[in-house]
Amino acid sequence: MSLIAQLRKQNPVVLTVANMVTPADVANGLNVLGASPIMSKAPEEAEDMVKIAQVVTINLGTVEAAQRKEMLAVMDAAQFLEVPAVFDPVACAGSAYRTQVANELLNKYHFACIRGNAGEIAALAGIDWQSHGIDAGSGDGDLTAIAQKCAQKYQTVVAMTGAVDIITDGQKVIKVPFGSPLFAVHVGTGDMLSSIIAAFIGLGGSVLEAAATACEVFALAGQAAANKTQMPSRWYDMFLDNLYQADDQLIAAWQTELQKED
């Protein structure tokens, strides 16, 4: 059975430690794909929440002292209960504080996957990169090599997303050449993707395949919507509705019909 079919059948529970800006988008993105979103802010219930989850996502987007404690409590439980986790290092190079929390999490825990843009992944890999707010920024260097270096450093799967998504376990590389610039216009699509990658990982198979499949379904649904409209609000609605409808047949049709980015 394909991963998307498994997702709709197994309805994995995804516990997201979310940022304050886009939790509704993250939850709705999981919902339309058939996963079950849960969110929590209380360290007191971290272990109980992890127990009912198949997978955890940690989002660095608006971390502060209380949420850092929540992240540690959730990851302690996830490590103990052997529940896989995804890390979204939002703007991790944007402040010394974020860098510090990101390093603390990465040094203390193993993540099955890290999902970020090129600037974030480069920063984690220890490569100098011009970052501009929460955007990817610009920089030189072979993106694939950066993603691989980051994956090797943290013994994880890296999903570096952008015009072309690069998913790698440090050796093998899968590229997803679909997408749309409209993803960058709607705030929170990156946060959604991180939790959707988690949902696929929660099925229990290969992490590399799970992450690549999540990126591909996400990018195809968005590009198919962008073929119908270039207006961001209409696009976002059609994108979500495409995710809701996505099955083997529709995904195969999108793969055939959509123009790949060079």
Binding residues: 39, 115, 161, 188
Q: What is the pairing mode between strands 173-176 and 165-168?
A: antiparallel
Report in angstroms how near the CB of residue 119 gets to its own copies at its nearest. 12
Neighbours of 57 (CB within 10 A): 31
Q: Closer to its own copies at the Cβ: 62 or 103?
A: 62
Q: Closer to its own copies at the Cβ: 73 or 151?
A: 73
Binding residues for substrate: 39, 188
**Residue with the two structure tokens 């987007």:** 61
Q: Closer to its own copies at the Cβ: 18 or 86?
A: 18
Q: Closer to its own copies at the Cβ: 136 or 160?
A: 136
Report in angstroms how near the CB of residue 195 gets to its own copies at its nearest. 12
Report in angstroms how near the CB of residue 37 gets to its own copies at its nearest. 7
**Residue with the two structure tokens 């439980």:** 77
Binding residues for ATP: 115, 161
- Residue 99 corresponds to which tokens in the numbers above? 């860098």
**Residue with the two structure tokens 């590229």:** 175
Q: Do residues 161 and 194 touch, judged by C-beta distance below 8 A? A: no
Q: Closer to its own copies at the Cβ: 77 or 212?
A: 77
Report in angstroms how near the CB of residue 167 gets to its own copies at its nearest. 26
Closest CA to 194 of 34, 66, 75, 18: 18
Provide the b/e sequence for 156-195 (b: ≥16 CB within 10 Å): bbbbbbbbbbbbbbbeebbbbebbbebbbebebbbbbbbb
Given the rule CB under 8 A, which residues bind its own copies?
13, 18-25, 27-28, 31-32, 36-45, 48-49, 52, 61-67, 70, 91, 94-98, 132-135, 184-188, 231-234, 236-238, 240-241, 244-245
Report in angstroms how near the CB of residue 86 gets to its own copies at its nearest. 18
